[in-house]
Structure 1
Amino acid sequence: MRRALVHMARRLRRDAQGVTALEFALAAPLLLMIMAVLIELGMSYYLQTVLVGTINAAGRASSMQSAQTTSSTIDSQVTARIHHVIPWATVAFNRENYTDFTNVGQPEDFTDTNKNGQYDLGECFNDANGNGVWDSDMGATGLGGANDVVVYTVTVSYAPLFGFSSMLGLPSTMHASSSTIMRNQPFATQTTRTVTKIC
């Protein structure tokens, strides 16, 4: 009996049948996770590429005063292009206009009474965009008028394709954003903005 058990143990030790299936069962989950991450990252890169090309074309179309296309129509076209890539994505739009390129992203001027280098409540400021409060970005909301500089930003948010992506270090909501800066066509005289000093 003992001799038979020893013989069976030796035979089992040399038997390689089923090893491939076992190795595949151990390696498959890791390979599938790596593939999922690569697909997510590839989709994110492709979306960013589509987004940049789309908003550059949309920005040019929206800057033409002679164009018959409205902002809402342009936004709908951008959304349609994004939904070709990721149908469940949420697309948000923002337009800020400025009198000049040098004003883009600049804060409204203020009197730094306490000399601390930042705006504090109660300090006087020049309200460049007419909203009655000091802003760290003096841009006015909307498309603006003739010869105004417009920053057109599109932000896309979407849930990852694979639900377990967050376990692999990817965020639970993916984001892509891109902006383009255009000057509206000067088919009219640029409107002079009234800057009000508020204290």
Structure 2
Amino acid sequence: MIRRRLFIARAVLRHLRQNREGATLVEFAIVGPVLILMLMGLFDIAHTQYTSAVLYGAVQKASRDYTLESAATSQTALDTRVQDQIRAVMPNGATITFTKTAFDDFKNVNEREEWTDTNNNGTCNGGEPYQDENNNGIWDVYRGQSGLGTARDVMLYTTNVTYPRLFPMFGMIGLPANVTLSATTVLRRQPFDQGSNQSPTVRNCP
């Protein structure tokens, strides 16, 4: 009886070993998730690149308009135009912010105000003298002042965009849930024969 059962069990195992039905389904169960993850990743990268190109194009167009003397009265319209172009290719929930900083010259863009670091601690404090380039009464990491500035001033125009990823695969491969893009351009305002040309004031750090 036992021998008969062993014979039947061996026959069943031999039949299962030779049976190829359903092999494709098992193979797809192994390969499918990896393939789908790769496809979603490629689509996500492609969308990010396309969105970045649209963002840079919109910012470059807006920057040319911001060089005009009339830009001071049309800031809202210019920023709205950039927003409309960006939102057309982005999912709902995208956050768009603009930063405009004016400098006296190109050489001053993103340069900190100079100070005499007498205590060598890398911080403007303890009554150390500094050059208040933008004359706002405080020491700044950057010499510029917020806004468009005046004629002939150099403006740093930055647009930051944050939006949720299109595909829910970010958690599987360690990516953040949101995509953050940034586009920056530097331009000089018109007319070119005038300008603020503020003289820096020597002050003391607190």
User: Structure 2-normalised TM-score?
Assistant: 0.87
Distance in 2 (alpha carbons) for counterparts of 1:30 and 1:169: 15
Residues 78-157 of structure 1 correspond to what in structure 2 (within 5 A)? 78-87=82-91, 88-114=93-119, 116=120, 118-121=122-125, 122-157=127-162
Q: Deviations over 1:99-143 (max 9, x none)?
A: 1111111111212323x2734213121211233221121011101
2:58–2:82 Cα contact (<8 Å) kept: yes
Query: Match of 2:40, as an amino acid?
Result: A
- 1:160 is the counterpart of 2:165: yes
5+ residue gaps, structure 1, are: none
Q: What residue number does 2:12 align with?
A: 8
Which of 194, 198, 201 pairs up with 1:193? Answer: 198
Deviation at 1:187, TM superposition (A): 5.9
Q: Secondary structure at the match of 1:94?
A: strand
Among all aligned residue pairs of Structure 1 and Structure 2, give the percentage whose two residues are the same amino acid: 36
1:110–1:119 Cα contact (<8 Å) kept: no
Q: What residue number does 2:28 align with?
A: 24
Q: Deviations over 1:51-70 (max 9, x none)?
A: 11110111011111145861
2:115–2:124 Cα contact (<8 Å) kept: no
Distance in 2 (alpha carbons) for counterparts of 1:163 and 1:197: 54
Distance in 1 (alpha carbons) for counterparts of 2:53 and 2:178: 19
Query: Match of 2:30, as an amino acid?
Result: L
Q: Secondary structure at the match of 1:177?
A: strand
Q: Which moved more, 1:6-15 or 1:98-107?
A: 6-15
Q: Secondary structure at the match of 1:163?
A: coil
Deviation at 1:180, TM superposition (A): 0.6
- 1:62 is the counterpart of 2:73: no
Q: Secondary structure at the match of 2:35?
A: helix
154 and 68 in structure 1: CA distance in 2 versus 1, 3 angstrom threshold: closer
Q: Greater Rg, structure 1 or structure 2?
A: 2
Count of aligned positions: 198
Distance in 2 (alpha carbons) for counterparts of 1:101 and 1:26: 57
Q: Which moved more, 1:89-98 or 1:32-41?
A: 32-41
5+ residue gaps, structure 2, are: none
Q: Deviations over 1:160-199 (max 9, x none)?
A: 1223413312122221101011111216621232422221
2:151–2:189 Cα contact (<8 Å) kept: yes
Q: What residue number does 1:38 align with?
A: 42
Q: What residue number does 2:185 align with?
A: 180
Distance in 1 (alpha carbons) for counterparts of 2:171 and 2:136: 40
